[in-house]
Amino acid sequence: MLSFVARRVLGLVPVILVVSIVVFLLLRLSPGDPAIVIAGDNADAATIERIRSSLGLDQPLVTQFFIWAGSLLQGDLGISIFSNIPVADLILQRLEPTASLAVTTLVFAILIAVPLGTIAGATAGSWLDRGLMLVSVLGFSVPVFVLGYCLIYVFSLQLRILPVQGFASISDGIGPFLSSIALPTVTLGLAYLVLIARITRASVLEMMGEDFIRTARAKGVKERLVVTRHALRNAAIPILTVIGIGVALLISGVVVIETVFNIPGVGRLVVDAILKRDYPVIQGVILMFSGV
């Protein structure tokens, strides 16, 4: 086990090295200049040049890279060009909301999708099955931002039972936390939920036609146990696979959700940094995700 972990950690080194070089070059070679963004519209060329110099952006690319890589080797991701806050601190500030949203979405989606998919699979062709599948098609088709605004309208503006926006840390209490994360979780989780539900249904349906299910029924096992103990258990592998693949879907949706519900997460951090060309922040976040 230890050698396995050691191999995985060592395997990270070339990945991070390649990612760091590629990201650094891509950013520096793409158009845009943070010194100009900082200086603003009324700045003359001399002012821009002095700001660029104070940021070290007037150095040759190779020098800039080695300065950054040197700091990185000491565990220092650098300092945001705009806020002057260490990048590691910025990421840490933003990690809790994003991680919380990811976890609650996963839990929400799995807890609802697996039972629904199982029922649909076990009662294939019934009205219940057709109804669930119709809802799943709708859920998969509605863009997350549209669903988000609809939920805000109903639960925040009409019923006034949940906040429109913002994030309350779990340290502020479980009530405020759940209240702030509920709508984003449902919004982000719906597409994920229907994906898992459909796969669960298909897998369970396939298992229901197997010989061992007929044998179980012949032995007099109750139908509920046939479905849960025999069909669902054997259908688990494709379900677990799609849950894993769906995590990528979840991460891409986080940026939109963080914007719609004004959640200060990592997604918004990196998008803002890209728009302003805050190089250290972009590099830091991408490196972190490549490491993960």
Q: Cα(78)–Cα(170) distance, rounded to whole angstroms?
A: 29
Nearer of residues 40 and 60 to other proteins, judged by Cβ: 40
Residue with tokens 């070059």: 25
Tell me if 112 sits within 8 A of 193, measured CB to CB. yes
Q: How many CA atoms within 13 Å lie on the side-chain side of 148?
A: 22
Nearer of residues 53 and 126 to other proteins, judged by Cβ: 53
Nearer of residues 83 and 215 to other proteins, judged by Cβ: 83
Residue with tokens 């109903």: 154
Helices (H), 30-172: 34-39, 45-54, 61-73, 87-122, 127-141, 144-151
Nearer of residues 16 and 164 to other proteins, judged by Cβ: 164
Q: How far is the CB of 197 from other proteins (least distance, A)?
A: 29
Q: How far is the CB of 255 from other proteins (least distance, A)?
A: 12
Nearer of residues 149 and 289 to other proteins, judged by Cβ: 149
Nearer of residues 115 and 264 to other proteins, judged by Cβ: 264
Q: For the chain, what's the residue count?
A: 292
Contacts of 106 (CB under 8 A, 6+ apart): 192, 243, 247, 250
Nearer of residues 38 and 286 to other proteins, judged by Cβ: 38
Which chain residues interact with other proteins by CB under 8 A? Answer: 31-33, 36-48, 50-51, 53-54, 80, 82-85, 90, 93-94, 149, 152-153, 156-157, 160, 163-166, 259-262, 264, 268-269, 272, 275-277
Q: How far is the CB of 156 from other proteins (least distance, A)?
A: 5
Q: What are phi and psi of 48, to 5 degrees?
A: -60, -40
Q: What are phi and psi of 65, to 5 degrees?
A: -65, -45
Q: Cα(56)–Cα(58) distance, rounded to whole angstroms?
A: 5
Round the CA-based radius of gyration of the chain to a whole number and report it. 25
Q: Cα(201)–Cα(132) distance, rounded to whole angstroms?
A: 10
Q: How far is the CB of 45 from other proteins (least distance, A)?
A: 7
